Amino acid sequence: MKGTTLSRKSFYVYFSDRYELLEQLFGDVRRRLDAANRLFLAGGDLLADGRAAMIAVAEVAREAGAPMRALFEASAHDERAERLWRQFNEPVVAAFAMKLAQEVEAGRIARLRDVRGVARALVGMDLFILFDQVIGNESADIAALVDNLTEVWAGVLRPPDP
């Protein structure tokens, strides 16, 4: 509120607390990330569509990722921030797990012992790279970073042995 012309009381006219503000802020980011992730989730070529999705997600992160990283970091110390982070991240993990399960069932990727665990690990890896290399770094080579991520995804999502 220090950076605005409004009083602290004005904040509470619009939001009950800072978490409600965060929910509002993350609504737009969530929609943009969901649109990017749909490139992977609705596509037919896991690696090509996954690469396109990761590039789109990285562009969103470059523009609007700092609050997302801050929420993740706060989630380790604040119960409500942790809940908000889970509400933000868990739908992504669940959607990716469902996509991987469909691909396993269709025989297009090798069996995975723990589909949800693999989805969580891959999404977590992507987030770490975004948080570490892209957010706050205007000179980040997104294409090169995504190539590296795609190589890891390819190793995990290999076709089944004939």
Q: Where are the domains of the chain?
A: 20-156
Give me the pLDDT at residue 112, please.
93
Confidence of residue 1 (pLDDT cuts 50, 70, 90): low
Averaged pLDDT of the chain: 91
Q: Which residue has the tokens 């503000």?
A: 21
What is the rounded distance in angstroms from the CA atom of residue 72 to the CA atom of residue 126? 14
Architecture of domain 20-156 in this structure: Orthogonal Bundle (1.10)
What is the rounded distance in angstroms from the CA atom of residue 20 to the CA atom of residue 142? 32
Give me the pLDDT at residue 79, please.
94
H or E, element range at 49:
helix 46-75
User: Rounded mean pLDDT of 114-133?
Assistant: 96
In the predicted structure, residue 49 carries a pLDDT above the cut 70: yes
Confidence of residue 130 (pLDDT cuts 50, 70, 90): very high
